[in-house]
Structure 1
């Protein structure tokens, strides 16, 4: 297959180059510098700051801890995770709203803003496998808020599904517009950044097309990070833009630079198993 993005620079970020820690209850891989692991080559990519691929054992999890001034979201690959946070008070929230169990295909999203505390715990027997992602917001001091969404595998097998898109009102949103929380792309979760997230499930020999910017931004110059989670025991592989040198195996990512809004990035599944592909598109 011939490549269509000759002007783009595509640089694989191999799984072995990620940071890794095994704490027993948590087995985690860091695509970008995080916690005690630092690599000057991998600090951020546009507004993308953190991409951790985590597995948490049953009956364990992250105790209550604080965050501020990041957009933080978890994408569940398998298992279940229960989330609690300080944006909801027990006095004015039902128990079902206060404790949110998220499962396969769900996203839990928090604008940390001026400060939140939250906890994530796996009360099940089986491990939970998920991606935790942080983006840098377009301004500090935002009002904390919580959102969640569920996106079906059936839709993801038809093509890339948009999961997050910028708050439509933009950086100068009023309090009323913040409360309304209207995203640029209907059906997505609004994020306070020029940032779009998509996901797709591509069968072997299948090809999906990602439109850079997802028609959700006015910024012409874009960057795209593609990640292939470790979900199929090493049997999934993808190729980007038809480039033989840019085949990714599970755990790998790729930096796609020098692209413009509206460009088409072809993602081809070239392994023996369905590939779950996550796309993070930023200015």
Structure 2
């Protein structure tokens, strides 16, 4: 039987960037941060922990053949793209874009004085050159309190958004006595990213910004949360 192996990617070891209006921590190689030991994990290519100051944002730029979502933790994030989409989501909201054959988009903070903090994630698609698409959803607080809420999957199961990446993506919050036990089933690889707070995963203490690569399948036990919020990727 394969034994689960967990490798922690500590928050302090991530690549850091400070552009004034943007502060970003890169779990994997991105932009000017290059680390051959941390290029991607399975189809998971980018996890950027971004803080954008009031009035700041990313000007229009193009993406192709990437599955991209922004999971908003604080404040609000506005999106516009060349497909004619425009939306604003706040904490708990998710903006998802399948770039496919190519799309130009911008993301910015609509507030003049409050920051927005979000995780921007890129997944590698299982098909190339597909028709671009865009979707949003809100992961309600009650749906992820002490349990995993699926919001992205290849087949759109259980009310999730359908992605072209081979990954199931869940969100959860844990505090106090809340406990989650989750069997990874057929998924040999998983990644857990701590977006906020602290918790223990299979008795390993993790803090805000930590990530953990999980290999070999098995059962995850999440407990001991202190205002914790996590994303779990099953691949």
Normalization by structure 2: what TM-score?
0.95
Map of 1:39 onto structure 2: 35
Quick check: which one's strand share is greater? 2
| Deviation (angstroms), 1:6 | 7.9
Map of 2:123 onto structure 1: 135
Tell me if structure 2 keeps the 8 A contact 1:70–1:137. yes
Map of 1:209 onto structure 2: 181
Distance (Å, rounded) in 2 between the aligned partners of 1:195 and 1:221: 9
**2:188 is matched with which residue: 219, 222, 232?**
222
Tell me if structure 2 keeps the 8 A contact 1:160–1:209. no
Tell me if structure 2 keeps the 8 A contact 1:165–1:197. yes
Q: Secondary structure in 1 aligned to 2:142?
A: helix
Distance (Å, rounded) in 2 between the aligned partners of 1:222 and 1:149: 28
Map of 2:166 onto structure 1: 194
Distance (Å, rounded) in 1 between the aligned partners of 2:164 and 2:104: 19
1:20-74 per-residue CA deviation (whole Å, 9 max, x = no partner) reads: 0011000000000000101111111111000000000001100000000000000
**1:250 is matched with which residue: 199, 208, 225?**
208
1:203-223 per-residue CA deviation (whole Å, 9 max, x = no partner) reads: 12421123325xxxxxx3521
Map of 2:229 onto structure 1: 276
Between the two proteins, the alignment pairs up a number of residues equal to 234
1:93-114 per-residue CA deviation (whole Å, 9 max, x = no partner) reads: xxxxx42011111110111011
Q: Secondary structure in 1 aligned to 2:69?
A: strand
Superposed, which structure 2 residues align to 1:65-214 within 5 Å?
65-88=61-84, 98-124=85-111, 125-166=113-154, 168=155, 183=156, 185-212=157-184
Map of 1:92 onto structure 2: none
Post-superposition, which runs of at least 4 consecutive aligned residues in structure 1 deviate over 2 A? none
Distance (Å, rounded) in 2 between the aligned partners of 1:11 and 1:207: 21
Q: Secondary structure in 1 aligned to 2:101?
A: coil
Tell me if structure 2 keeps the 8 A contact 1:50–1:135. yes
Distance (Å, rounded) in 1 between the aligned partners of 2:223 and 2:190: 16
Distance (Å, rounded) in 2 between the aligned partners of 1:211 and 1:71: 25
Distance (Å, rounded) in 2 between the aligned partners of 1:6 and 1:137: 27
Distance (Å, rounded) in 1 between the aligned partners of 2:98 and 2:224: 34
Quick check: which one's helix share is greater? 1
Map of 1:237 onto structure 2: 198
Distance (Å, rounded) in 2 between the aligned partners of 1:203 and 1:21: 30
- Where structure 1 has 5 or more consecutive residues not aligned to the other structure, the ranges are 89-97, 169-182, 214-219
Larger Rg: 1
| Deviation (angstroms), 1:158 | 3.9
